[in-house]
Structure formats: structure tokens, C-alpha cells
């Protein structure tokens, strides 16, 4: 199986390429295509993970359906038979990895829910005993569970390379108090339902980020949802605070890049076959555990 690193849909208007997704304009809708690109340390690597885009898309579709009682989402259809006829010649690039979605005015804030200390949250706590300005108890470790899930929003840095944690007060100034409060409510409600589902599957949802937009009839959930690219899923049985936890994401990639002492500057290196294979296995396992289904790539 060959990794799909770049999509080419002929005369379909390309809006942009992110680290993983290619975005196209299709009439008054948008087409999101999840490629097999993989990024680490804010760089897209030279090697893709074959099938990763399909796994991410199918996980998002699962969650869009499960969480639709909390907030509407932007999905129109993921069935390419229902796509405009102009897209059907490109079925080999689109099957299983694309979503036709509604356009929305996106809020410039990533809505993060955390129930465990990890990543930038652990780094901030280590320095200040807070996360996004929220005071936390002393004595917590890397991987510790928080007393309650917290809303820790972030904005994109000026160069778009990484997220920067901000306080709720800053979010209110950016979006208005009412919108900020509603996004916090939705974020924590979505997290709670997703975490309960994950727990029933033997997984911890340590943290996750959501993106919301606004349409004429209100707020909608957009982008990807609760995938291993946007969330930390840990094995419940292996959870042990005091260091990094085994996770269902690209940790094999990060570990390899650290082992070769890459300076984290472009150009990004290629990955050996065994790292690609182990990473793909982790993504597939996440899909199986979360959905209870197997996925044929």
C-alpha cells in the first residue's frame, strides 16, 4: 500500500494544504481530504503512513455520529457516490478519506479539554502550578488526573506552526463572553461523553481539542474530532503517573526522531519501514478499540 501524500483533483479549486488535510472548494461546500502525511515537532515528514488519512476520517465520522445530540456538525456526506459528479473521477484519492462539509465562519480558538496533565499542560504546571491560568493542586505529576476536566483554549501562533495556550479571560476578549462560555460548555460536554465511551473501551481520554464554527443557525462542530492526531488516548490498565504514558498516536515517530537526534529543522527526515508499520498498527488499534470495528485499508 502506497501512502497518499498529495491530492490532485484537476480543476477543483484548492484552498490550502495543512499538515495532514487538503482543503478544496466545491460549489458552496468544502471538501476535506485527509492525506497520509504525518507531522512531528511542527514539521511534515518526508515519509507518510499508508492509510492513516482513512483511519482519521473514519474515526471522525464515528464521533460526529455519537456526539450529534450535543452539537450539530459540519458533515454533509462522506459517501463519494453522493459527491458532485466532477469529483467521481478521483475516487481513488477520495474513497474513505474525504468529507464534504458545510462552510462555516471558524472561531480562531482551539477548544481544548484536559482531564490529565500532559504535554504543554504539564510544562506550564511545572512552572506555575496552573494550566491556562487555572490554579491546580500541588504535588501533581506528569500524567496525573486532574480533580475535574478543565477548558484550556489555545490560539495559533503567528506563523501557524504551533498552538499557544491562553486564559479563558483572553478567549472572552477575543470572542465575546457569551460565545466563550458556550464554547467552554460544549467542549466539556463533548469531552465528558467521549471520555465515558473511551473508558468503557479500556482507554483514557487524557485531553483533546475541538474546533467550532458559526453558521446562520448557531455553533457547529468542525474539522476532525477525537482522532489520535488531536487527542491523547492512553491504555487504562497501563496508566501510571510520573512520566509519559503509552499512547495511541505517533509516539513511535517522535521517539525515532529523538533517537537520531534530528535538530527539528527542515528538511524533515524519512522514516524507516518498522517505524511506519508500528505507527500504522497503533492508529488501527485506536480505530478498533474506539469503534468496535475493523477497518480494511
Residues 6+ apart with CB under 8 A from 173: none
Query: What confidence tens digit (pLDDT) does each residue in 120-164 have?
Result: 899 999 999 999 889 999 999 999 999 999 999 999 765 555 678
Nearest to 252 by CA among 283, 226, 224: 283
Model-level pTM greater than 0.85? yes
Contact yes or no for 294/285 (Cβ under 8 A): no
Domain with CATH 3.30.470.20 in the chain: 106-238
CA 165 to chain centre: 16
**What cell does 289 get?**
478499540
Q: How far apart are CA 237 and CA 85, in angstroms?
A: 48
Pick the CATH number of 106-238 from 3.40.50.170, 3.30.470.20, 3.40.50.300, 3.40.50.1970: 3.30.470.20
10-residue block means of pLDDT along the chain (297 residues)? 95 96 97 96 93 98 98 97 96 97 96 95 93 93 97 76 85 97 98 98 97 94 95 96 90 89 92 95 96 92
Q: How far apart are CA 111 and CA 168, in angstroms?
A: 10
Domain with CATH 3.30.200.20 in the chain: 1-103
Longest dimension (CA), the chain: 59
Contact yes or no for 113/149 (Cβ under 8 A): yes
3-class secondary-structure state, position 82: helix
Query: What confidence tens digit (pLDDT) does each residue in 42-64 have?
Result: 899 999 999 999 999 999 999 99
CATH architecture group of domain 1-103: 2-Layer Sandwich (3.30)
Residue 291: C-alpha distances to residues 119, 201, 207 (Å): 26, 9, 19
Contact yes or no for 73/64 (Cβ under 8 A): yes
Amino acid at each position: 500500500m502506497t501512502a497518499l501524500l498529495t491530492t490532485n483533483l484537476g480543476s477543483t479549486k484548492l484552498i490550502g494544504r495543512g499538515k495532514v488535510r487538503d482543503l478544496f472548494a466545491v460549489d458552496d461546500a468544502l471538501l476535506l481530504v485527509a492525506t497520509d502525511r504525518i507531522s512531528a515537532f511542527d514539521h511534515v515528514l518526508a515519509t507518510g503512513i499508508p492509510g492513516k488519512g482513512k483511519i482519521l476520517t473514519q474515526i471522525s465520522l464515528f464521533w460526529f455520529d455519537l456526539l450529534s445530540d450535543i452539537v450539530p456538525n459540519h458533515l454533509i456526506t462522506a459517501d463519494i457516490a453522493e459527491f458532485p459528479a466532477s469529483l467521481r473521477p478521483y475516487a481513488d484519492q477520495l474513497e474513505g478519506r474525504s468529507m464534504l462539509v458545510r462552510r462555516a465562519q471558524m472561531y480562531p480558538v482551539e477548544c481544548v479539554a484536559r482531564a490529565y496533565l500532559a504535554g504543554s499542560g504539564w510544562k506550564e504546571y511545572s512552572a506555575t502550578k496552573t494550566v491556562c491560568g487555572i490554579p491546580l493542586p500541588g504535588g501533581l505529576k506528569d500524567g496525573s488526573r486532574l480533580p475535574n476536566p478543565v477548558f484550556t483554549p489555545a490560539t495559533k501562533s503567528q506563523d501557524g506552526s504551533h498552538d499557544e495556550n491562553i486564559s479563558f479571560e483572553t478567549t472572552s476578549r477575543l470572542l465575546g463572553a457569551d460565545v466563550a462560555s458556550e464554547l467552554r460548555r460544549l467542549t466539556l460536554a463533548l469531552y465528558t461523553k467521549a471520555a465515558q465511551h473511551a473508558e468503557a473501551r479500556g482507554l483514557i481520554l487524557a485531553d483533546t481539542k475541538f474546533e467550532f464554527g458559526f453558521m446562520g443557525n448557531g455553533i457547529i462542530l468542525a474539522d476532525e474530532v477525537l482522532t489520535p492526531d488531536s487527542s491523547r488516548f492512553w491504555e487504562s490498565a497501563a496508566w501510571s503517573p510520573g512520566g509519559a504514558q503509552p499512547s495511541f498516536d505517533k509516539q513511535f515517530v517522535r521517539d525515532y526522531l529523538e533517537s537520531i537526534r534530528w535538530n527539528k529543522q527542515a528538511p524533515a527526515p524519512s522514516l524507516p519501514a518498522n517505524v511506519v508499520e508500528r505507527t500504522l498498527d497503533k492508529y488501527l488499534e485506536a480505530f478498533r478499540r474506539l469503534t468496535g470495528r475493523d477497518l480494511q485499508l
